Amino acid sequence: MIGNRKWTSRILSFAVAVSVAVSTLVPTSKAAAAGEPVIEAPVALLMDAKSGQILYEKGENDKRFPASTTKVMTMLLAMEAVQSGQKKMTDIVPVPLEAYNIEGSSVWLDPNEKFQLQDMIKFVAVPSGNDAAMALAIFLAGSQQAFVQKMNDRAKELGLKGTHFANPDGLHNPDHFTTASDLAILARELIVKYPQILELTKIKSFEIRGGKNKIENTNHLIGKYEGMDGLKTGFTDEAGYCLVSTAERGGFRLIGIIMGATDDLQRQADTTKLLDYGFTNFNSKRIADKDKPVGEKAIVPTAKNEEVEVAPAQDLYVAVKKGEEQSVQTKFVWNQVEAPVAKGQVLGQMQQVQNGKVLSSVDLVSTQEVERGSWIRLFFRKALDGISTSVKGLFE
């Protein structure tokens, strides 16, 4: 019996040794096997800012508490209010009691102080001031409740299906949630339409009140990671450590999302791995220019001139893995349209396709107004189409 036990013990030891050796040779995850980054946080996403392509995703549609990454929407609504002429950057923003009494991160606003709108946006962008976010919300919409309604209306317009806001600052509320996919769309909307926001989000520190208070950026990768110039951190006990990051190198801009990290160091490490993966493995290429006619033309049979010139409604970019550029093809998809055609009317799409998957696309719009053809022309066109169909049927 003793001899058998020794042999059994030796066999088990050998089996454990083999198991350990094999485990060091086999990748610990599918991500590692595919050469993708191994992200420790439960949720992550990497997006090419110009095309909107998703380059990496993990738990991207999981509903999570966003903490202060909420303020990406707060900043967007502030920038849109200025763009529309409703507000000016030099407007004085009052400090209501709701802002003065708010908990969490702040710049210690006092109702007796007078700061401009541009200051308040900076107080949100750099130190993640909850008091500044609340002051902005009430200044822009009249009340916190009205501003939250604006937030949710804007989320709906952007197609953020996994998002619901309950406040402008991100303090925990069980009815306040989003997803990595939605956050990426929101961040892209802000930085593509209002790139000037990055002049604020990249500030490492600044002083206020005549140097009495030094304000530090909560994004500790600013000044540490090459090309990093934004965008917004977030933390609550329920949300964990979150970061909506963006960095640009050589005109190639990436947006990274990390949600639910255990601490700031993990948040930084995961963000670094995520962005490194994008910059190391992908190239961004400009395919077509906004308003510049493309070679293909839309066919509108009922138009006076059935070949209609089209141009992209926006610049078209595609991000492709290095070495796979030749596998990406341009495809045109046309809508069924009846004349007359208005200038700027969408007639189809220009797509970048790889192995049957659409990587990026842009709407193609008419460059001019196109009249409807005469009834005589349309009559003969239908007659010819009928004859063509009949002849084709004889040979089928």
Residue ranges per domain, the chain?
33-283, 289-394
Q: Which two tokens stand for residue 64?
A: 């999570």
Active site (annotated) includes residue 374: no
E strand or H helix that includes residue 319: strand 316-321
Active site (annotated) includes residue 212: no
pLDDT digits (tens, 9 = 90+) for 218-237: 999 999 999 999 999 999 99
C-alpha angle 342-347-352 in degrees, rounded to nearest 5: 145
pLDDT digits (tens, 9 = 90+) for 25-35: 333 344 454 58
User: Distance between CA 105 and CA 96 in Å, rounded?
Assistant: 17
Contact between 46 and 259 (Cβ < 8 Å): no
Average pLDDT over residues 114-130: 98
Average pLDDT over residues 336-359: 95
Q: What are phi and psi of 166, to 5 degrees?
A: -125, -10
pLDDT digits (tens, 9 = 90+) for 236-273: 999 999 999 999 999 999 999 999 999 999 999 999 99
User: Distance between CA 124 and CA 99 in Å, rounded?
Assistant: 12
Considering only CA atoms, which of 225, 156, 131, 230 is closest in space to residue 188?
Answer: 230
At residue 374, the pLDDT reads: 66
Catalytic residue, candidates 50, 51, 68, 105: 68
Considering only CA atoms, which of 172, 2, 176 is closest in space to residue 73?
Answer: 176
Catalytic residue, candidates 128, 181, 361, 366: 128
The confidence band for 396, taking pLDDT boundaries of 50, 70 and 90, is low
Average pLDDT over residues 89-113: 96
Q: What are phi and psi of 101, to 5 degrees?
A: -95, 0
Q: Which two tokens stand for residue 171?
A: 């303090």
pTM of the shown model: 0.86
Q: What are phi and psi of 153, to 5 degrees?
A: -65, -40
Percentage of residues in the chain having pLDDT higher than 70: 86
Q: Which two tokens stand for residue 36?
A: 């993708």
The domain made up of 289-394 is a member of CATH 2.60.410.10: yes
Q: Do domains 33-283 and 289-394 have the same CATH topology?
A: no
C-alpha angle 178-184-188 in degrees, rounded to nearest 5: 130
Q: What is the CATH number of domain 33-283?
A: 3.40.710.10
Active site (annotated) includes residue 19: no
User: Distance between CA 195 and CA 183 in Å, rounded?
Assistant: 17
Peptide bond connecting 127 to the previous residue in cis, omega within 30 degrees of 0: no
User: Distance between CA 291 and CA 303 in Å, rounded?
Assistant: 21
The residue type at 273: K
User: Distance between CA 197 and CA 23 in Å, rounded?
Assistant: 47
Residue 265, strand partner residues: none
- Helices then strands, counting H and E runs in the chain, come out as 11, 16
Considering only CA atoms, which of 353, 314, 313, 315 is closest in space to residue 333?
Answer: 353
Catalytic residue, candidates 58, 71, 150, 273: 71
| Sheet architecture: strand order including 240-249 | 54-58, 43-48, 252-261, 240-249, 228-236
